[in-house]
Structure 1
Amino acid sequence: MRSLGAKPLAQPAPVWVIGTYFQDERPNIMTAAWGGICCSDPPCLQISLRKATATYHNIMHSKAFTVNVPNPEFMEKSDYAGMVSGKDTDKFAATGLTPVKSDIVDAPYVQEFPMVLECSLIKHVEIGLHTVFIGEIKDVKVKEEFVDGHHADMAKVNPVLFAPGSRRYYAIGKEIGQAFSSGRICMRNGE
């Protein structure tokens, strides 16, 4: 194996569009790739943001945010939301996306995206350049055509993924196995 050094290259990273409100109730979105599930009970996720972002300050004020999951159809608009500051630009107007006021948390979500997680802030931790925000997931909304039984159908949602090293976006591939089941073959081989 070749060493690439100490870098944040855990990949893929999710492409999440974080929805918040400014203090004057203007909706804002920001693309973030540093995030993931951090607890199952209570259901929580974490996102890491720099203090320089408007979203950081919006979350500190409202104690809420949404995690909007784009599919490849919205890759360009999602990328744009991470390129400009909401302090200077109405990103919803610029992208043509529609803000929807959550009825559960004090944050907007993106109407057009296939999936959204509505979160209330339960903790934040400063770590170097970034602050980790831990949000309790209060609800998960998925457009009906992307639901499989009681779950979001990953293949249909087709979330955008980010490769930090190359700074490229990807879509998910095909299903290759069933979690907590496919590994049983190793149990049989190990006996």
Structure 2
Amino acid sequence: MKKSLGKKPLAAPAPVWAVGAYDLEGKPNAMIAAWGGIVSSKPASIAVSVQKARHTYAGILKHRAFTVSVADVAHAAQADYLGIDSGKDIDKFAATGLTPVRSELVDAPYIDEFPLIVECTLTNVLEVGVHVQFIGEIADVKVDEDKMSGSAPLPEAIQPLIFTPGARTYHGLGQLVGKAFSMGLEYRKK
């Protein structure tokens, strides 16, 4: 039997994404966002949801760009901190020792230590309740070379950090279960 938890944002797990933008003065900033995901394959686009009160919000609008640095298990404490204090009050890069890198393709910084980076040009802005969803067309995806197998990133090498909203806990990735679009073929009618 399933238990009802009511109307809550509990689609778990959620990603732990560091959304990077330059602020209004051009200073690199990053915040953690768990509300995000891929929204289109053509054009390749992702979305992140940010509250208007967040320091990152105005920077994304001004520079019409943002990055997503996918946090990994090795940097869980630094990633968590990016969601605790505001870049309005403190230089989060200096506080955590993380390195901001200027994207060559979009007007936004990414985090060098995080293994997977998505660089985006802002294409759509949609107000949804207390959040604003920023949709960005992907200009490039960068992955640490040692986290690749051929042309694909290896999740078990990247070790992305994931978040469980209800419990407010972080987790690592589990074991490989199987090959997508292959495991279910046994159910295809012949």
Aligned-residue sequence identity (percent) comes to: 49
Question: What is the aligned length?
Answer: 189
- What is the letter of the counterpart of residue 87 of structure 1? K
Q: Does 1:95 align with 2:106?
A: no
Please give the secondary structure, in 2, of the residue aligned with 1:126: strand
Separation of aligned partners in 2, 1:62 and 1:78? 23
- Deviation of 1:23 after TM superposition, in Å, equals 2.2
Separation of aligned partners in 1, 2:110 and 2:73? 18
Contact 2:20/2:110 (CA < 8 Å) preserved in 1? yes
- In structure 2, the partner of 1:177 is 178
- In structure 1, the partner of 2:46 is 45
- In structure 1, the partner of 2:168 is 167
- Deviation of 1:25 after TM superposition, in Å, equals 1.3
Please give the secondary structure, in 2, of the residue aligned with 1:172: coil
- What is the letter of the counterpart of residue 130 of structure 1? H
Query: Any residues of structure 2 matched to 1:133-152 within 5 Å, and which?
Result: 133-152=134-153
Q: Does 1:25 align with 2:40?
A: no
Separation of aligned partners in 2, 1:62 and 1:28? 12
- Deviation of 1:10 after TM superposition, in Å, equals 0.2
> How big is each residue's C-alpha offset from its partner over 1:56-99, in whole Å with a ceiling of 9 and x where there is no partner?
11101111000001111100000000000000010000000011
- Deviation of 1:127 after TM superposition, in Å, equals 0.8
Separation of aligned partners in 2, 1:100 and 1:25? 13
Query: Any residues of structure 2 matched to 1:40-119 within 5 Å, and which?
Result: 40-119=41-120
Separation of aligned partners in 1, 2:71 and 2:185? 34
Separation of aligned partners in 1, 2:26 and 2:62? 11
Separation of aligned partners in 2, 1:163 and 1:23? 32
- In structure 2, the partner of 1:16 is 17
Gaps of 5+ in 1: none
- Deviation of 1:22 after TM superposition, in Å, equals 1.2
Q: Please provide the CA RMSD for this pair.
A: 0.8
- What is the letter of the counterpart of residue 163 of structure 2? F
> How big is each residue's C-alpha offset from its partner over 1:9-60, in whole Å with a ceiling of 9 and x where there is no partner?
0010000001110122110010000000000011000001100001111101
Separation of aligned partners in 1, 2:113 and 2:171? 20
- What is the letter of the counterpart of residue 93 of structure 1? A
Please give the secondary structure, in 1, of the residue aligned with 2:183: coil
- In structure 2, the partner of 1:158 is 159
Please give the secondary structure, in 1, of the residue aligned with 2:105: coil
Instruction: Give the ranges of 4+ consecutive aligned residues of structure 1 lying more than 3 Å apart after TM superposition.
Output: none
- What is the letter of the counterpart of residue 60 of structure 2? I
Please give the secondary structure, in 2, of the residue aligned with 1:68: strand
> How big is each residue's C-alpha offset from its partner over 1:102-137, in whole Å with a ceiling of 9 and x where there is no partner?
000000011111110000000010011001110111
- What is the letter of the counterpart of residue 27 of structure 1? P
Contact 2:10/2:166 (CA < 8 Å) preserved in 1? yes
Contact 2:24/2:58 (CA < 8 Å) preserved in 1? no
